[in-house]
Amino acid sequence: MKVDVLIVGGGIAGLWLLAELRAQGINALLATDELGKGQTIASQGIIHGGTKYALTGKLTGAAMAIGEMPRIWRAALNGEGSVDLSKVNILAESQLLWTSGGIGSRMTGFFASKAMKSRMDAVPHAEYPELFRHPAFHGGLYRLDEPVLDVPALLACLREQLADALVQVDVQRSGLQQAGNTFRYHAVLPDGSELEIDASQIVLTAGAGNEALMAPLASTPLSQRGGVLSQRGESLLERCSLSGVEGSRRELPTMQRRPLQMVMLRGGLPMIYAHALGMSDKPRATITSHKDAQGQTVWYIGGQPAEQGVGKPAAEVIAATRHELAELLPWVDFDGMEWATWNVDRAEGCQPDGSRPDQPAFFHMANVTLAWPTKLAFAPMLASSLQSALSVAKSVGKWPVESLPTPPVAHSIWNEVDFIRL
């Protein structure tokens, strides 16, 4: 099979890029196992507008870059532009942020800062959701310009639109193969049949799976790599001490993993979408609400409990989160509710100090580009940078992929775990 662009990996990064390329009439195909498996299906679906990044009190590069994303996503959700998400369920038009009682003076300055005024408003008391109407709540409540999306619905919507450009592969047995100075993709379909795919450009958007996929690139002698790096590739290498230029050899960029142990709480809970802010510049908890297969509400909890829970036994992480929620929402009775945790890695372009990257990262070598969006919200920015960098020429005819197997959407995390009642 010949295509203009082959995308390997069907999370939000690959799907958004595919939608953009197809809208331009480029013959692009995406190979993957399950759509969103890994990070996208595990994400909280918040289209960040930068508030979380700006909590340090400074408007950092990350806060600036991500500030544009809600507008781009809202256009897609309104059916405007090349990616049509008008069928996607919006769980909440805005994410809330609540402060619990006394917050530090630095934080007070943050709320008053000019930079934040366009991104958040104080919620009038009359509009408080039920959960915060309790007389014991003395904090402040703010509304952020950050819609929260139903991620399984987002993946299903993209799957439906792009079905004829998707192919399900057995990822363990499929991969890149060298063909002269370029690479092609050897695909093994679920029924064991094989397909060789030649593409002018191959974009790897497999999240944590990029690490294994790029192995054939690393073992290729430099002379056969062409040695030509794009400007973006050079700048990524410079930023990344682990993969700097060593003598005449150039190393491959590395991926970093930042793990999380997310916590889930199921029971008679209200649907809320909110960050809880304490004295630190990191949310004490970030809660989104979802319905499981039986229609029960699940609170999906990230922020500090998930960061601090890494590597700990689930029971310990649950106990700490329960304690934290009891402090944050002392008027809510959590007795008899069901709890679970989920371990997942965030996969990103490496940073010299292992910190969160400010923006999406990509690296180009021969006809292969490795890409990590860093955030769900950044998928449009990554797709547009890739399109400018790749300058794909339309050259080959359309391949009828209708007969190829279409990858399913990955299962929602809350339908995969075993909850325990406490």
Ligand X SMILES: Cc1cc2nc3c(=O)[nH]c(=O)nc-3n(C[C@H](O)[C@H](O)[C@H](O)COP(=O)(O)OP(=O)(O)OC[C@H]3O[C@@H](n4cnc5c(N)ncnc54)[C@H](O)[C@@H]3O)c2cc1C
Q: Are 388 and 19 in contact (CB under 8 A)?
A: no
Q: Are 399 and 1 in contact (CB under 8 A)?
A: yes
48 contributes a contact to ligand X by CB under 6 A:
yes
# of chain residues touching ligand X (CB under 6 A): 41
213 contributes a contact to ligand X by CB under 6 A:
yes
Q: How many CB atoms lie within 10 A of CB 79?
A: 11
Q: What are phi and psi of 288, to 5 degrees?
A: -125, 160
187 contributes a contact to ligand X by CB under 6 A:
no
13 contributes a contact to ligand X by CB under 6 A:
yes
Q: Which is nearer to ligand X, 9 or 305 (CB)?
A: 9
Q: Which of 6, 90, 162, 377 binds ligand X (CB under 6 A)?
A: 377
Q: How many CB atoms lie within 10 A of CB 295?
A: 6
Q: Which is nearer to ligand X, 9 or 283 (CB)?
A: 9
305 contributes a contact to ligand X by CB under 6 A:
no
260 contributes a contact to ligand X by CB under 6 A:
yes
The CA angle 364-366-370, to the nearest 5 degrees, is 30
Q: How many CB atoms lie within 10 A of CB 337?
A: 18
The alpha carbon torsion through 235, 241, 245, 250 (nearest 10 deg) reads: -90
Q: Which is nearer to ligand X, 48 or 225 (CB)?
A: 48
Q: Which is nearer to ligand X, 42 or 392 (CB)?
A: 42
152 contributes a contact to ligand X by CB under 6 A:
no
Q: Which of 6, 29, 46, 154 binds ligand X (CB under 6 A)?
A: 46
Nearest-angstrom CA–CA distance, 171 and 209: 9
**Which of these ranges, 17-25, 30-38, 310-318, 390-398, lies near ligand X under the rule CB under 6 A?**
30-38
Nearest-angstrom CA–CA distance, 224 and 230: 16
Q: Which is nearer to ligand X, 34 or 164 (CB)?
A: 34
Tokens read off for 134: 């309790």
Q: Which is nearer to ligand X, 107 or 263 (CB)?
A: 263
Alpha helices of 85-209 — where are they, by DSSP H? 105-112, 114-117, 151-162
CA distances from 358 to 35, 211, 320 (A): 25, 20, 29
Q: Which of 17, 19, 28, 38 binds ligand X (CB under 6 A)?
A: 38
Q: Which is nearer to ligand X, 40 or 289 (CB)?
A: 40
For residue 211, how far is the Cα from the chain centroid?
17
Q: Which of 205, 256, 304, 341 binds ligand X (CB under 6 A)?
A: 205
CB of 224 to ligand X, least distance (A): 22
Nearest-angstrom CA–CA distance, 351 and 138: 40
Q: How many CB atoms lie within 10 A of CB 366?
A: 20
Q: Are 35 and 15 in contact (CB under 8 A)?
A: yes
- Nearest alpha-carbon partner for 190 in 165, 169, 163, 166: 169
The CA angle 350-21-92, to the nearest 5 degrees, is 70
Q: Which of 5, 6, 7, 9 binds ligand X (CB under 6 A)?
A: 9
281 contributes a contact to ligand X by CB under 6 A:
no
Binding to ligand X, residues 332-351 (CB under 6 A): 344, 346
Q: Which is nearer to ligand X, 105 or 172 (CB)?
A: 172
Q: How many CB atoms lie within 10 A of CB 274?
A: 26
Q: Which is nearer to ligand X, 62 or 366 (CB)?
A: 62
11 contributes a contact to ligand X by CB under 6 A:
yes
Q: Which of 4, 33, 150, 358 binds ligand X (CB under 6 A)?
A: 33
43 contributes a contact to ligand X by CB under 6 A:
yes
**Which of these ranges, 243-251, 273-281, 324-332, 375-383, lies near ligand X under the rule CB under 6 A?**
375-383
119 contributes a contact to ligand X by CB under 6 A:
no
Q: Which is nearer to ligand X, 184 or 375 (CB)?
A: 375
Handedness of CA 148, 69, 362, 356 (dihedral sign): negative
45 contributes a contact to ligand X by CB under 6 A:
yes
Q: Which is nearer to ligand X, 216 or 267 (CB)?
A: 216
Query: What type of residue sits at position 366?
Result: A
Q: Which of 49, 70, 302, 357 binds ligand X (CB under 6 A)?
A: 302
Q: What are phi and psi of 166, to 5 degrees?
A: -115, 140
53 contributes a contact to ligand X by CB under 6 A:
no
Measure the N-to-C terminal CA separation of the chain; round to a whole number of Å.
Answer: 54
380 contributes a contact to ligand X by CB under 6 A:
no
Q: Write out the residues near ligand X by the rule CB under 6 A.
A: 8-14, 31-40, 42-46, 48, 171, 205-207, 209, 212-213, 260, 262, 302, 344, 346, 372-377
